[in-house]
Structure formats: structure tokens, C-alpha cells
Amino acid sequence: MATKKPLDKEQLFAHVDYTLLRPTATLAEIELMADEAVRYGAASLCIPPCYISRVRRHCPGLTISTVVGFPFGYATCGAKVAAAEHALEVGADEIDMMINLTDVKNDNILRVMTEVAVMKKAVGENILKVIIETCYLTEQEKIRLCEIVTVAEADYIKTSTGFGSGGAQLADVKLLSKHIGERVKIKAAGGIRSAAEIEEFIRAGCARIGTSTRYKELFAGK
């Protein structure tokens, strides 16, 4: 059986949501990553909501993603909707929302599904990625959340915030890929720090990869 040809730097980075969500990140650091995202062709730049309007002025053509309900997810649905709508108004293109894990652990699946559906309605044709924080979930909870994200018509299911007790795992990606609907894509994030890891997650079924590792470090020696 022939081995698959390795993906080149451009192909790999085209799947990357280039990310800087560190709470101490400065505008200079954010703008430098924005420039790199444009130069090297990232899928998007994922940044804190407070920087959206400034980055939109700095890089008018850049796809900007941002986070809502981040990183714990226990803001109310109304607060998340308001945050998403404002983010889109000031220049964001994509929303990565954290689900309410307390509802998952209370087995209040209807509330979880309602929140995702309401968020997708608020986001409209913009991309909605639903973060489920796999490190805190049982296998059955992961499967159920695949069903919820599918029924609620979100665009992506995302493994992790990168701020939990664990990040993306290939085993989780393989599990999610078996249980999501045909139109739902997978984003892996958290702890992915090399081109080899990016390629491994893409091969496992991910359409997007979230990483805060800088471009030169990701592709050192490639």
C-alpha cells in the first residue's frame, strides 16, 4: 500500500487557526501574529475579543476568529449570544464558543442543545465552533455532544480550550469523527506544537488545528 505524500508547509498552515489567547498578550504580539497569519496563509487568527477591532484595522482582509464563554463556559446563554453578536459587529468572522460543562455534568442535555442552537442562530452564516473540553468528559458524554452539535447545526466540534487539564488527543478525534454528522467538521486544539503533530491530526480527520506555537517553531527544519 502506497504511503501518502507528506503535506507541505502551505498545506499544513492552511488548516491552522493561529492562536494567541494568553491573558497577558500585548497588542504588539497580536499584530505580529496577524502579520504572520496573512503572510503564511493561516485559516484564521484566533484572538481575545478585546483585540478584534484593532486587528481588523491592522489587517482588513484577515479571517479573525474569537472566543466566547471562554475558557470555562458557564456564562449564561444570553451573555454568550451578546458576546458573539458584538464580536461579529466589530470585525470577527468566526466564533469558538465553550459549552456549559455544568449542564453536561447535570445531564441537562436539552439546555446544552438549546444553547448551541441559539448560538448558531445568532452567528448565522458565520462559522460556529463548539468547544467541548474533552479532558473533562466521559466517552458517552463525548458521543452525546457529537449528536448535540450535529442536531444544533454548528459547523465544528472542537476538542479543547488549551486551558483545561489536557489538550487534543488523537483518540478523541477518532471517536468524534465516528459520531458527528456529515456536515460537522473537527477542530483539534491544545498542546499541538509541531508540523508533524498538525499533519497527524489532519490525517485523523481534523479540518482545523488550533496552535499558539509560532510559525518558525512549527516548521523548524521542514
Would you call 103 a catalytic residue per the annotation? no
Q: Which residue has the cell 516548521?
A: 219
- Going from the C-alpha of 177 to that of each of 77, 171, 201, 209, the distances in angstroms are 27, 10, 12, 15
How many whole angstroms separate alpha carbon 204 and alpha carbon 136? 21
CB atoms within 10 A of CB 49: 17
How many whole angstroms separate alpha carbon 80 and alpha carbon 67? 10
Would you call 96 a catalytic residue per the annotation? yes
Q: Please, is 157 exposed, middle or buried when counting C-beta atoms within 10 Å of its C-beta (0-12, 13-18, 19+)?
A: buried
User: Which among 80, 120, 142, 187 is annotated as catalytic?
Assistant: 187
Phi, psi of 17, rounded to the nearest 5 degrees = -90, 100
User: Which among 17, 96, 103, 172 is annotated as catalytic?
Assistant: 96
Would you call 17 a catalytic residue per the annotation? no
- Going from the C-alpha of 58 to that of each of 62, 68, 212, the distances in angstroms are 9, 22, 20
How many whole angstroms separate alpha carbon 46 and alpha carbon 63? 9
Name the residues annotated as catalytic. Answer: 96, 158, 187
